[in-house]
A and B are shown apart, each in its own frame.
Chain A
């Protein structure tokens, strides 16, 4: 008999242990640990590489009471890695859906400052849940994800206070199996820094990086014209 509830975090940012997705997802999973969950974290880029890692992924998904997918918005939807993993999980669940109730929650962050640009990606995850027999636990969207970057939330408590509050509320709701409160969604969507400042910092950041690569005069190149 299994006593502890199990939560699985799938991180869908490509090839990076250090990402906004990992920071957000890890914080939530640690909160679930505090609630007594047994937890696991998998990085999708590793999990879909080989047959045995795919099998391990499917095994963990079958076992989980709660699955959290944290990923960046790529071209207005889920990154390739996340779509691929959902296809693999859906195929597995065609054969057999576990009898116990399993919840699915997603956390999406994007580069543009508006959290609402993640709505389509959340709708896709919701649809995936409906088609594969997960109970939909809701979707959180963070705009201007670069303001978190690869920093653990515990290290940027003041800047990330709304994000932290949102994830704490989310952990409570997952633990007590109630629908995600609107407050959690609203807090996560609140800009971390004002839009104008975010854009200014991002633009300065691009220019600085270009200077480092000595490409600052070539940033507007059109290599495919010829």
Chain B
């Protein structure tokens, strides 16, 4: 089994660096392969909205950079983990830059789902999501928006299972570890669906 981590924490967010390490450690314990992307360290061209990844080179963005590698790793994973400071209730720009580049994983064509229009799947199998939002402290309104966003993403990127949760900057290592372990419970669901 394989997980990709899209780490959208800001440069210099050393306080939260350990979260990434904790997650890798836990995944190694259960013998998952991990591919990590520290997004602020990578040169990723932002999406130009040209739709060439649907029309000209179906399934691949015109830019051959880390954004393309991330899209590939995403679809080849069983679980994708997003780490991000909760930014006005949404994702950080670092994470968003990478996510805007994954629409090549869907088809341009439409299907209806629960009364809404969405895209059809390009691939047969998509990874599960685990999304961890970092906040200075509990913030019900931002958390509500963030959770809704994850649910909306789940409608468009077909994860077999998904989970989201929050880590607060004031929390102790033990508390953070507990949240991570709870969120990583999603690996069990994914493993049971896959087998």
- Residues of chain A whose beta carbon lies under 8 Å from any beta carbon of chain B: 13-16, 19, 72, 74-81, 83-84, 86-87, 90, 112-114, 117, 119-120, 123-125, 127-128, 131, 195, 199, 202-203, 206, 209-210, 213, 215, 218-225
Contacts and interface: CB of A to CB of B under 8 A. Distances in A.
A125 B47 CA distance: 20
Contacts of B100: 74-75, 79-80
B110 A72 contact: no
A222 B107 CA distance: 10
A120 B145 contact: yes
Interface stretch (B21-29, B91-99, B164-172, B173-181): B91-99
Contacts of B36: none
B40 to A, nearest CB: 12
The 4 closest A-B pairs by CB, nearest first: A76-B152, A84-B93, A128-B88, A83-B93
A124 B145 CA distance: 7
A83 B89 CA distance: 11
Given A72-B49, A220-B58, A224-B75, 10 more contacts: A14-B48, A74-B96, A75-B153, A83-B91, A86-B88, A87-B87, A120-B152, A128-B88, A206-B55, A218-B58
B20 interface: no
B118 to A, nearest CB: 7
A81 B46 contact: yes
Contact of B108 (A119, A128, A219): A219
Contact of B49 (A14, A123, A219): A14
Residues of B contacting A: mostly: mixed
A103 B135 CA distance: 26
Given A77-B90, A113-B117, A219 B54 contact: yes
B123 A225 contact: yes
A222 B55 CA distance: 13
B116 interface: yes
Interface residues of B, number: 47
B109 interface: yes
A199 B102 CA distance: 22
B31 interface: no
Interface of B: 46-49, 51, 54-60, 71-72, 75-76, 87-93, 96-97, 99-100, 102-103, 105, 107-110, 116-118, 122-123, 141-142, 145, 148-149, 152-153, 156
Contacts of A81: 46
Nearest to A113: B117
B59 A222 contact: yes
A211 to B, nearest CB: 10
A209 B118 contact: no
A77 B91 contact: yes
A87 B11 CA distance: 14
Contacts of B47: 14, 74, 79-80
B59 A224 contact: yes
Contact of A76 (B71, B88, B141, B149): B149
Contacts of A117: 116, 152
Contacts of A76: 149, 152-153, 156
Contacts of A75: 96, 99-100, 102-103, 153, 156
